[in-house]
């Protein structure tokens, strides 16, 4: 499969960007771009619209997939993904188990770092959409599996360094995670509500984990304008809680 590119231009002080394949035409308010022309270009080159507006060609990275990839539901936000990566020390020799795959955005970030990611999704149509996103991201170290993680985790004899759970089934899965974690490995669970988080903490308490913490990350953009510099008045509110436990 062909991989997408980012086309970016700066217009009236704002960035305009498009996530496109190398075929067909893109109609923008700054003119039409013949996308076949991208086939002879490389990243860092520019391509012009029929109105002469130049667009820079960039290679998409994980944050671009968060913004532009097709979604089956809400993907995890980069700020929360960062907390998982920093608190588990996820690194290049790691084997990671992830569930549910959803749109595959967390899996794309994890796959860009780890040796291998196995990701389970219960809904076939979601798995196929994630497969497309992951293929477009050019990652071949992510194995997608169709199945209910609450059942599949009990059947596997594989071992992992990090397990990430972003599914309503997480509290049912937690008791089985130590069986598949290497000693010293980490579990990271994302949960949107206090109630769900409390269930996860209770499941962790009943199992043999050592260090446990639950955190929420608040992110504030800083806006710069003629009038002054201050935290942006438009901001992301609550997303979810991250619970990290070590085995």
Ligand X SMILES: C[S@@+](CC[C@H](N)C(=O)[O-])C[C@H]1O[C@@H](n2cnc3c(N)ncnc32)[C@H](O)[C@@H]1O
Stretch of residues binding ligand X (CB under 6 A), selected from 21-29, 54-62, 86-94, 115-123: 115-123
Residue 150 is a binding residue for ligand X (CB under 6 A): yes
Q: Is residue 240 part of the contact set for ligand X (CB under 6 A)?
A: no
Q: How far, CA to CA in Å, does 97 sit from each of 30, 46, 52, 112, 203?
A: 44, 39, 48, 14, 19
For the segment 161-180, give every residue that binds ligand X (CB under 6 A). Answer: 166-169
> Does 17 help bind ligand X (rule: CB under 6 A)?
no
- Count CB-CB contacts under 10 A for residue 207: 15
Q: Is the peptide bond before 168 cis (omega within 30 degrees of 0)?
A: no
Q: Which of 7, 97, 117, 122 is in the footprint of ligand X by CB under 6 A?
A: 122
Q: List CB contacts of 102: < 8 A, sequence separation 6 or more.
A: 71, 72, 73, 74, 75, 76, 121, 126, 130, 166
User: CA–CA separation, 132 vs 126, rounded Å?
Assistant: 10
CB nearer to ligand X: pick between 51 and 236:
236
Here's the x/- map for ligand X, 41-80, by CB under 6 A: it reads as: -------------------------------xxxxx----
Residues that bind ligand X (CB under 6 A): 72-76, 99-100, 102-106, 120-123, 126, 148-150, 166-169
């Amino acid at each position: 499969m062909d991989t997408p590119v980012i086309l970016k231009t700066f217009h009236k002080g704002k960035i305009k960007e498009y996530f496109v394949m190398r075929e067909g035409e893109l109609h923008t308010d700054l003119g039409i771009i013949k996308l076949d022309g991208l086939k002879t270009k490389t990243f860092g080159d520019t391509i012009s619209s029929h109105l002469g507006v130049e667009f820079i060609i960039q290679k998409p990275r994980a944050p671009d997939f968060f913004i532009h990839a097709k979604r089956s539901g809400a993907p995890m936000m980069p700020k929360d993904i960062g907390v998982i990566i920093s608190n588990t020390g996820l690194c290049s020799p790691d084997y990671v188990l992830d569930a549910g795959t959803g749109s595959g955005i967390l899996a794309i970030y994890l796959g860009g770092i780890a040796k291998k990611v196995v990701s389970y999704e219960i809904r076939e149509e979601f798995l196929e959409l994630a497969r497309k996103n992951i293929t477009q991201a050019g990652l071949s170290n992510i194995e997608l599996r169709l199945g209910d993680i609450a059942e599949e985790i009990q059947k596997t004899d594989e071992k992992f360094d990090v397990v990430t759970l972003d599914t309503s089934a997480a509290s049912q899965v937690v008791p089985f995670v130590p069986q598949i974690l290497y000693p010293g490995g980490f579990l990271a669970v994302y949960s949107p509500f206090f109630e769900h988080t409390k269930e996860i903490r209770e499941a962790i308490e009943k199992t043999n984990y050592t260090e446990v913490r639950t955190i929420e990350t608040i992110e504030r953009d800083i806006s710069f304008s003629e009038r002054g510099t201050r935290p942006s008045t438009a901001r992301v509110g609550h997303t979810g809680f991250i619970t990290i436990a070590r085995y």
